[in-house]
Structure 1
Amino acid sequence: MAEIFLDNETLFIRNNDLIEKLSSLEVFSLFVRKRNLGKINYSDIKIPDRIKEIKFRKKPSHLIVSLELDDEQKVKVSCCLGGVQLYGKLSHLDLRKIVDNEYVIINNEWIPISEESIQDNLNLLKDSDFSTKTISFGNVFNYLGLFSSPFLDSTELSFKILEEVKVSQYSDIQEKDGIFRIELYDYQKEGLKWLKFCSLNGIGTILGDDMGLGKTAQVIAFICWGIENNLFDNYLIVVPSTLLENWRREFLFFTDNKVEPYIHHGANRTGLRRVLENEKIVLTTYSLIINDSALFGSINWGACILDEASLIKNYQAERTIAIKSIPSKVRVAMTGTPVENSLLDLWSISDFCNEGYLGSIEEFKDVYVDQTVEQNLGNVNLERLKNLTSNIMLRRMKIDILDSLPDRIDIHQAIKQGPYEFEKYHELRDEILSRSDGGAVVFELIRKLYRFCSHPLLVDGITDVGITELTQKSVKFSRTLEILNEIKEKGEKVLIFSEIIDMIDLFKLSLSSFFGIKVFNIDGRVPVSERQESIDEFSKQDGFAVMVLNPVTAGMGLNITSANHVIHYTRQWNPALEEQASARAYRNGQKKGVNIYYPYYVETIEETIDNRLRQKFQLSESVIEVTSNNTDELEFLYEILKKDKYE
């Protein structure tokens, strides 16, 4: 006769000389349904009185695992099943035994474990060792993100506590007076600490700080720290083509020219794997990730970092698919707008950082997207999504960190000309240098070069063109449009300054069509009596609005504090003139931090003007009398053109 016996809270059957452990399904069939056990008749099975006294539950219960840290900074594991607390502190093996058994016998009661929590606790246990503080945090982390698996109670094990525990394992990695030479703001130091933590734990992250808070500085500081401590063999940074040169210069600026990334771009770029493998930092563009996907995919990257990561918001886009196929140990997405049009944007970016963290796209849609906005806003799922994303995203807004943030942020953006612009620019430059008559003719040609840098089409007198051609012919215009899109997503207002009337008209025509809004303008053609009325109408606009102004005509006396973004699209020789133009937004009554952008082309007269203005500003402290562009400055430009050097 077969016999059931209990050993160490586990049920077994002995049939002749064969002993087998009973599965949860077999226990349920035998003791709840009173059914035969395979070929063994129920009536032929001997059940001891001790086992007959056990109460067998019919319905499975979820196994809730609780994690916390004990006094010795070791991970403490405890379980709750069906409202019953299981034992006390458990070891890694204790938990595995419970999960493997698929049931628990406690207080003379047999409680089956639900299939869902069995599977998810197996995921949690994989490669983890709870006997030491070297917990496989990646498993816990992914477990926290499982969509329909609320089987981990981590209230006692906060993210910050785990951070302290995990980072303490790397106590040999010390802060040094290293290659990153600029002092970060306090909030940026916290961002650097976060990036370190995520990289040490193999966790992808979204650096979602508000625009203007210095995401680039934090990432460069992180890379410098990683290089000093041999964290990764290499770093891949993917940026819009308009930001390639700006990133290169930021590296040089923040490291005193000690670190310069290798730029993979242009028709003469390498196609050899060994070339990229020999570089510590590789900087490339989204378009080349598609074109050279096989090359990038053949290299195991330490960290893959995306700037303007909203460019992969479409999870079906070719660039998104290509980027997600690149192997890397850690992924960082930099974006001030993690959600632009839909929650699917957030899913796509999060899935790049940690594949599967928010479930499959179908699961995500079922829980969040396939509901009305009204249902979502009042749905607990939305709060849960917020909690889930907070585990992988660091996001600070200006309003949250005003104590450590200057009210005004000046952003000088170096831009490299596209092939078309580069060729045409140097044709104009050569024409200037070939003229022997000098004087007014040469100076007029220099002004033409200045106009060309605003937009090449202005030189030919073309202003009635679509947004596509405008962006194709001018990298600077394209970058400005990217900035405007970011401002639009924030629902804020912007002032664009240009002294070129045709450029003002071009902005007004193209932006009104592209954004579907009225674009306001103030220049010499707008009567003084109508200017305040235009400002009032601009200020009353709900959310995003654009006003284009001439810095001479509208640079003084106007209060436009409804805008908190300023773009100096064409530059002035006088820093005081630019300061007064910026002061239309950055003045008493402004309640938000103000971002002031200075986009300029490198290795052109625009770079010369930008450097000259910075020198003048430092010298004058903004007290130079406002004057118009003068002959001395044009002569200075002419000398620079002859040297073929921009300084």
Structure 2
Amino acid sequence: QLLGEADRVQYDPEFQRRKKRLLDFDGIQTRELPRGFEGELRPYQKAGFDWLYFLHDFEFGGCLADDMGLGKTIETLAYLQSQKESGHVHKATLLVLPRSLLVNWQREAEKFTPGLSFYEYFGNQRAEDINAFDNYDLILTTYGVMLRDIEQLREYRFHYAILDESQAIKNPLAKTSKAARLLNADHRLVLTGTPVENSTFELWSQFAYLNPGLLGNLDYFKNEFGNPIERQGDENTSEFLRKMVYPFILRRTKDQVAPELPPRTERVIYADMDPAQLKFYNKTRDYYRAMLLGAIEEKGMNNARMQVLEGLLRLRQICNHPRLVQADFRGDSAKFELLIETIATLQSEGHKALIFSQFVQMLKIVREALDQRKIPYTYLDGRTQNRQERVDTFQNDPKIPFFLISLKAGGVGLNLTAADYVIHIDPWWNPAVEMQATDRTHRIGQDKPVFVYKLITRNSVEEKILQLQDKKKALVEQLISTESSFFKSLTAEDVSVLFS
């Protein structure tokens, strides 16, 4: 459809050449794996390897969007090794990633592609002369360093510029996203298990990096795709957008390609609030409800959003433990007691579990309880320095049954297959974030069934978060969101329901 309309516009000879190649396209060719790859690709990974060559040959950027835990890193390394052995590569490849993934990439490269040389471009040891990159195959850096050093990095012409966990550039207006688009490379690739989490604009941002111009400029995209899909729920426009990006996104789910993975069982476990906790919750809810509905009536929804978020935060904290809001609270928390009981049972049965919370203060309360009961554990939040050491301790020490992890700090980049249980103390608005956290253990290498427990306080805002998650899950699975971001679409009626 797009190619048929190409004659209506003026184009240069290069466009004419590419158009002819696409019209002559008769399928993705099978390629030989490189000699220097020390491992084995599963059939779906080999298909991904061949797809990366298709993108290379037709000079397109692409998004490898396989489910978390299916081995995107290994596929990419095998492909880069093959590129090196082709003899046509004379420049380094840039790999931009969250800092937490640096060690993981280094370990995987040493194991599967020891012939690839890499240079760590971060910290105080960064090379002043970027021409030194020519001495390496792979340049590893973080999103933070890329943003700070973009003026220098853009002076080098990379063979590939690859973004891992590319949801880091989902906001098209963020400085990190703009810096990524300034990188200079012959080819571009992004890796992510969640290419779209909330909004179609996240897709535009990644494609503005991968294939600039394919989806038009931001204003055009907003008028032609964003508004019709997100505000009007236009399924025809959504389907057309899906067709446009389909050749450039490769996504396989665990259910499709890895039936050998043990099953994952998810269970919601409810707790009823203790009397004192319920009284505190109702008092806080009624306070915010009266304040917010009055503020919305006076100032409008847009001017009351921060107060809405504050109110929701306080209610969610009380669901976990009232001490998060009132340090000298004397009563108990039903959910907290349920958590401690569950931990004791898992320990007695010889299981290992990951325990996630988005509130570091909640993890601190859990730590105090485990210390009192002399239950061993390891711990990780955003301030933890020796992350990999903590991971290795949990993975290899059978005497450490529990790993307490801040959801934001440990949701990506960690391989924790020693665990067979995952406990989410509190629900997060976006189900993709929780799925990423769960996939730290439910991934290739896992040989045990995985059980996921979500602790929910009954008759609270947490139950309403679950309902919102169910809505968003369908959008994530379709890749293109037909519902706008939760907070942006809040109405006065929604607020009334959330605080009911």
Partner of 2:18: 136
Per the TM alignment, residue 584 of structure 1 is displaced from its structure 2 partner at its CA by 4.0
Per the TM alignment, residue 370 of structure 1 is displaced from its structure 2 partner at its CA by 2.0
Partner of 2:250: 394
Written as runs of structure 1 = structure 2, the 5 A alignment for 1:585-596 is: 595-596=439-440
Once the two structures are superposed, residues 311-332 of structure 1 have per-residue CA deviations (whole angstroms, 9 ceiling, x without a partner) of: 0111111111111111111100
Distance in structure 2 (CA, Å) of the matches to 1:207 and 1:570: 31
Distance in structure 2 (CA, Å) of the matches to 1:401 and 1:269: 40
Distance in structure 2 (CA, Å) of the matches to 1:207 and 1:350: 12
Partner of 2:52: 195
Partner of 2:111: 253
* Alpha carbons 2:69, 2:440 under 8 Å: kept: no
Structure 2 residue corresponding to 1:127, chosen from 1, 14, 24: 14
Return 5+ residue gaps in structure 1 as ranges: 1-62, 67-115, 130-134, 142-153, 168-173, 410-504, 532-545, 556-566, 587-591, 599-613, 622-647
Partner of 1:240: 98
Distance in structure 2 (CA, Å) of the matches to 1:308 and 1:289: 14
SS at match of 1:306: strand
Once the two structures are superposed, residues 224-254 of structure 1 have per-residue CA deviations (whole angstroms, 9 ceiling, x without a partner) of: 1111112432211001111112211110011
Structure 2 residue corresponding to 1:406, chosen from 261, 285, 291: 261
Per the TM alignment, residue 581 of structure 1 is displaced from its structure 2 partner at its CA by 8.1
Once the two structures are superposed, residues 40-68 of structure 1 have per-residue CA deviations (whole angstroms, 9 ceiling, x without a partner) of: xxxxxxxxxxxxxxxxxxxxxxx9976xx
SS at match of 2:96: strand
Distance in structure 2 (CA, Å) of the matches to 1:332 and 1:117: 26
SS at match of 2:124: coil
Distance of aligned partners of 1:270 and 1:522 in 2 relative to their CA distance in 1, 3 Å threshold = farther
One-letter amino acid of the structure 2 residue matched with residue 192 of structure 1: F
Partner of 1:217: 74
Distance in structure 1 (CA, Å) of the matches to 2:418 and 2:111: 27
* Alpha carbons 2:97, 2:165 under 8 Å: kept: yes
One-letter amino acid of the structure 1 residue matched with residue 419 of structure 2: S
Written as runs of structure 1 = structure 2, the 5 A alignment for 1:369-384 is: 369-371=226-228, 373=230, 375-376=232-233, 378-384=234-240
Distance of aligned partners of 1:524 and 1:375 in 2 relative to their CA distance in 1, 3 Å threshold = closer
SS at match of 1:358: coil
* Alpha carbons 1:199, 1:330 under 8 Å: kept: yes
Distance in structure 2 (CA, Å) of the matches to 1:285 and 1:204: 20
Structure 1 residue corresponding to 2:40, chosen from 140, 158, 183: 183
Per the TM alignment, residue 118 of structure 1 is displaced from its structure 2 partner at its CA by 4.2
Distance in structure 1 (CA, Å) of the matches to 2:215 and 2:232: 20
Once the two structures are superposed, residues 579-616 of structure 1 have per-residue CA deviations (whole angstroms, 9 ceiling, x without a partner) of: 99834469xxxxx9974449xxxxxxxxxxxxxxx9xx
Distance of aligned partners of 1:596 and 1:117 in 2 relative to their CA distance in 1, 3 Å threshold = closer
Per the TM alignment, residue 177 of structure 1 is displaced from its structure 2 partner at its CA by 5.5
Q: Do residues 163 (structure 1) and 28 (structure 2) align? A: yes
Distance in structure 2 (CA, Å) of the matches to 1:291 and 1:367: 34
One-letter amino acid of the structure 2 residue matched with residue 163 of structure 1: I
SS at match of 1:218: helix
Distance in structure 2 (CA, Å) of the matches to 1:212 and 1:332: 18
Written as runs of structure 1 = structure 2, the 5 A alignment for 1:29-428 is: 118-120=7-9, 122-123=10-11, 126-127=13-14, 136=18, 161-164=26-29, 175=32, 178-233=35-90, 234-255=92-113, 257-371=114-228, 373=230, 375-376=232-233, 378-403=234-259, 405-407=260-262
Identity of aligned residues (%): 26
Distance of aligned partners of 1:249 and 1:65 in 2 relative to their CA distance in 1, 3 Å threshold = closer
SS at match of 1:179: coil
One-letter amino acid of the structure 1 residue matched with residue 95 of structure 2: I
Per the TM alignment, residue 205 of structure 1 is displaced from its structure 2 partner at its CA by 0.2
Distance in structure 2 (CA, Å) of the matches to 1:573 and 1:373: 48
Distance in structure 2 (CA, Å) of the matches to 1:290 and 1:577: 39
Per the TM alignment, residue 373 of structure 1 is displaced from its structure 2 partner at its CA by 3.8
SS at match of 1:202: coil
* Alpha carbons 1:297, 1:327 under 8 Å: kept: yes
Per the TM alignment, residue 218 of structure 1 is displaced from its structure 2 partner at its CA by 0.8
Q: TM-score, normalised by structure 2?
A: 0.55
Per the TM alignment, residue 210 of structure 1 is displaced from its structure 2 partner at its CA by 1.0
One-letter amino acid of the structure 1 residue matched with residue 236 of structure 2: V
* Alpha carbons 1:523, 1:553 under 8 Å: kept: no
Higher relative contact order (CA 8 A, sep 6+): 2
SS at match of 1:236: strand
Distance of aligned partners of 1:528 and 1:274 in 2 relative to their CA distance in 1, 3 Å threshold = closer
Per the TM alignment, residue 200 of structure 1 is displaced from its structure 2 partner at its CA by 2.0
Per the TM alignment, residue 162 of structure 1 is displaced from its structure 2 partner at its CA by 4.6
Name the larger-Rg structure: 1
* Alpha carbons 2:117, 2:137 under 8 Å: kept: no
* Alpha carbons 1:232, 1:303 under 8 Å: kept: no
One-letter amino acid of the structure 2 residue matched with residue 392 of structure 1: F
* Alpha carbons 1:263, 1:284 under 8 Å: kept: yes
SS at match of 1:315: coil
Distance in structure 1 (CA, Å) of the matches to 2:51 and 2:121: 28
Q: TM-score, normalised by structure 1?
A: 0.43
Partner of 1:573: 397
Per the TM alignment, residue 277 of structure 1 is displaced from its structure 2 partner at its CA by 2.7
Distance in structure 1 (CA, Å) of the matches to 2:135 and 2:224: 45
Once the two structures are superposed, residues 365-391 of structure 1 have per-residue CA deviations (whole angstroms, 9 ceiling, x without a partner) of: 001222364622x43110011111111
Partner of 2:291: none
SS at match of 2:125: coil
Which of the two has greater strand per residue?
Answer: 1
SS at match of 1:267: helix
One-letter amino acid of the structure 1 residue matched with residue 239 of structure 2: E
Partner of 1:582: 419
One-letter amino acid of the structure 2 residue matched with residue 353 of structure 1: L
Distance of aligned partners of 1:259 and 1:140 in 2 relative to their CA distance in 1, 3 Å threshold = closer
SS at match of 1:304: strand
Distance in structure 2 (CA, Å) of the matches to 1:180 and 1:400: 25
Distance of aligned partners of 1:242 and 1:373 in 2 relative to their CA distance in 1, 3 Å threshold = same
SS at match of 1:302: strand
Once the two structures are superposed, residues 549-607 of structure 1 have per-residue CA deviations (whole angstroms, 9 ceiling, x without a partner) of: 9799999xxxxxxxxxxx97972732796899834469xxxxx9974449xxxxxxxxx
